[in-house]
Amino acid sequence: MKLNITLTTNVLISAVTLFASYLLRPITVAAVESPTATAPNFVRDVVPVLTKAGCNAGACHGAFSGRGGFRLSLLGFDPDADFDAIVHDTRGRRISATAPENSLLLRKAGGLMPHGGGLRMTSGSESHTIVRSWLDHGAPGPDATRLHVTTLKVTPADVVLQLTRNDSEGDRSQTLDNEKHTLVRRVNVEAIWSDGITQDVTRWALFDSGDNNVAEGANDGLIAGKGPGRTSMTVRFMGQVASVSVTVPFAMITDYPAFVTSNFIDEHVLTEWKKVGLIPEMLADDATFLRRVSLDVIGTLPAPNEVREFLASSDPQKRAKAVDTLLGRREYVDCWTLKWSELLRVHRRSLGEKGLDSFQSWLRAKLRDNQSAQILVKELITAKGNLYTNGPVGFYFVDQTPVDLAETTAQIFLGIRMQCAKCHHHPFEVWSQEDYYGLAAFFSGVQRKDTKEGGRFGGSQSIFVANSHKITNPMTSQVIAARVLGAAAPVAEADDCRPELADWMTSKENPYFAKNLVNRYWGYLFGRGLVEPIDDLRATNPASHPELLNALATDFVAHGYDFKHLLRTICNSRVYQLATNLNPERDRNGMFFSFHLPRRLPAEVLLDAINQATGSTEGFPNLPVGTRAIELPDSTIASYFLETFGRPKRTGTCECERVTTADLNQSLHLANGEAIHQKVTAKDGRLSKLLAAQTSNADLISELYLATLSRLPTEQELAAATKHVTAATNRPEAYEDLLWTLLNFSEFSYQH
């Protein structure tokens, strides 16, 4: 026993001695290799790396609820929250201060551990090196200055992949329309930070093409052309966006044919045609022009006698005079009241019967008197008092909350879709949550007074405003004061800040107001806007013809925001008067306006056209006989035809609410519907009266063509129709067949 204790004691002494000598041994510390002398900045360096790798994209950890328990702000719009999520969340398990190379942040992104997002940065890459260096320096967080990007510059902002005949070796080219196109161009992206530093961020910017069939963007700033046309390349970096217009010409035209211009619209568009190698269609004939401009300006077909008179006139100014005449007709007010009622969602479900009449009567008066867009919008934004005596008050009965009013105001009057900024920084725009709630704060004090007289909000028919300058962001509990979009500071406190909003919105310096309105009106007349969709103006959705959009807006402002002047200017341009091309080989979507794009007539206009062509009327419930569809106050008036052909319900501010595409139900209604048959065969209709007057075949056929297609029949059409009616045993039925056929022509139901 004594021997065993002695041996055990000796072993322990030896072990302690050995361990002590190990602890006291000389230690050589190897220098940790650092890629940079100073620590990478989390905001300036690390967040862009994570964004480029896709870590904070909406499909990954940037989703609203994150992924795998790890949530980052979408595209890095909130670096402070991202730093906390990476460094402090889940007890700091995502990074290792003692062994940075073992940090989950690096191992998962580098593919060394199972990761749902797969490999995001390879070891030794620039991205991996930056993150590793940041970890090696102790993972410093954002400083208190809230560093952010103030401006994003892309040069060049307009890229034309020039046509060339250079066949030299190494030239990246592709044959398009039997010519050679240089297909690659590099752009440079610079970010100007809030601390004044300008940084080349081309490597870290995100490039997204609007049309990959025209061009694609590469990570290193290269833009590669794929086919003829034009698209925009969206460039995003740290909450800022910019765009690059990319054009791949269709052809090289050295001897461009003469094109006589009528106004500045033609001059701008002609420049673009030459740039992209497009030759426009010829001018539409007189009959086509008169039908087109009548339907666009007054929503009404020209009468047969109007067509005959116009065709017979030799006045070289007859087209311009026709435009002036149409702008002075009563139907102009009906047509554009309908359009503005749709935009403002004028509807009895929110206004009641008396409120509907008050709001719409105010609209009609403004359009009838040709009040400027400035006056119209200012009266809407600053409206208060009783709805029944002050029509624009109805604007505040359509939407219920300040945020709804902010979204509506931005989209209708500025063409800005703010909805995405409600929960996070807008991924395709510069707007932040502060911008969103700053705009909403203007409406925070709008209150409704309940007079128990019906309506959507418990009978409220009057509004008053008190203390409308602050609102709380429910996401952050931050109190945000009213400020106009893009402003660095809020407006001065006031019980009612809306007048200051109205002044800013309608000022000449506002970059959105005039452009939005001229773009909408252009879209109404051409079937597509210079910016498309027409209510989505943003840096990442540039105009197809930016110089023309600027020129139209400048002219609109210079003429006092006059809607009739705008319509007159567009309709008198030769671009508007071009012929239609039903099967274009180039410019297939009509982006360059080298031909007039055919489009389906709106439901109300089509129904009125059928009634006018057949000489019949429509019976709408509780309305006088003869009421036209474009005069209807809202969509509660029952009409199977209007519902079938896409009348909007006025529930949203998007122009897309109106259905403009044809479908089988529409075709069947025109071809087999009992309602159409009754109109064609009506005893007091156009055809019955012509037959009763013993009109000759040639004159009767011509009259039906004029009444439906607004033109005379061609020789072949006249011969075929004459053969049909003369061979028939029942003359009235033969003409009923002819009229029915004309109503079913695409030429009748389409604007062209």
DSSP 332-357: HHHHHHHHHHHHTT--HHHHHHHHHH
pLDDT of 276 higher than 50: yes
At 174, the amino acid letter reads Q
Average per-residue pLDDT for the chain = 87
pLDDT bin (cut points 50, 70, 90) of residue 445 is: confident
Mean per-residue pLDDT for 187-201? 93
Q: Which residues of 399-413 are buried (b: 16+ CB within 10 A; e: fewer)?
A: beebbebbbbbbbbb
Q: Which of 681, 675, 690 is nearest to 736 (CA)?
A: 681
pLDDT bin (cut points 50, 70, 90) of residue 427 is: low
pLDDT, tens digit, for every residue of 112-163?
A: 888 888 888 888 888 888 988 899 888 898 888 889 898 999 999 888 887 5
Mean per-residue pLDDT for 51-69? 84
DSSP H helical segments within 86-125, as ranges?
Answer: 89-92, 104-109
Instruction: State how far the Cα of 732 lies from the Cα of 681, in Å rounded to an integer.
Output: 9
Give pairs for 600-603: CB < 8 Å, separation 24+: 600/660, 600/661, 600/662, 600/749, 600/750, 600/751, 601/295, 601/749, 601/750, 601/751, 602/299, 602/646, 602/658, 602/660, 603/629, 603/641, 603/642, 603/644, 603/645, 603/646, 603/647, 603/658
pLDDT bin (cut points 50, 70, 90) of residue 54 is: confident
pLDDT bin (cut points 50, 70, 90) of residue 12 is: very low
Instruction: State how far the Cα of 315 lies from the Cα of 321, in Å rounded to an integer.
Output: 9
449, 453, 455, 457: CA torsion to nearest 10: 30
pLDDT of 658 higher than 60: yes
pLDDT of 593 higher than 90: yes
- Give, for 268, the enclosing helix (H) or strand (E): helix 264-276
In the block, tokens 């007859």 appear at: 318
Q: How far is CA 345 from the centre of its chain?
A: 18
Quick one: what percent of the chain has pLDDT higher than 90?
52
Domains along the chain with CATH numbers:
42-136 (no CATH), 149-248 (2.60.40), 332-505 (no CATH), 603-751 (no CATH)
Instruction: State how far the Cα of 405 lies from the Cα of 399, in Å rounded to an integer.
Output: 6
Question: Which pLDDT score is estimated for 431?
Answer: 75
Q: Is the separation of the CB atoms in 430 and 77 below 8 Å?
A: no
pLDDT, tens digit, for every residue of 537-546?
A: 987 788 999 9
Question: Which pLDDT score is estimated for 97?
Answer: 81
For the chain, how many helices (H) and strands (E)?
29, 19
**231-240, 269-278, 296-305: least confident range:** 231-240
Output the pTM of the full model. 0.86
448 is written with which tokens? 């409704």
**260-274, 305-319, 406-420: least confident range:** 406-420
Question: Which pLDDT score is estimated for 452?
Answer: 54
DSSP H helical segments within 31-101, as ranges?
Answer: 47-52, 79-83, 89-92
Instruction: State how far the Cα of 649 lies from the Cα of 397, in Å rounded to an integer.
Output: 16
Q: Which of 111, 86, 101 is nearest to 34 (CA)?
A: 101
pLDDT higher at 503 or 166: 503
Question: Which pLDDT score is estimated for 559?
Answer: 97
pLDDT bin (cut points 50, 70, 90) of residue 630 is: very high
Work out the end-to-end distance of the chain between its first and last CA atoms, rounded to an integer number of angstroms.
115
The answer to whether the bond into 533 is cis (omega within 30° of 0) is yes
pLDDT of 617 higher than 70: yes
Question: Which pLDDT score is estimated for 684?
Answer: 93
pLDDT, tens digit, for every residue of 507-528?
A: 999 989 999 999 999 999 999 9
Mean per-residue pLDDT for 640-655? 89
Question: Which pLDDT score is estimated for 28?
Answer: 40
pLDDT bin (cut points 50, 70, 90) of residue 253 is: confident
Contacts of 167 (CB under 8 A, 6+ apart): 173, 180
Four-residue CA torsion sign, 730, 734, 740, 744: positive
Question: Which pLDDT score is estimated for 37?
Answer: 64
pLDDT of 165 higher than 50: no
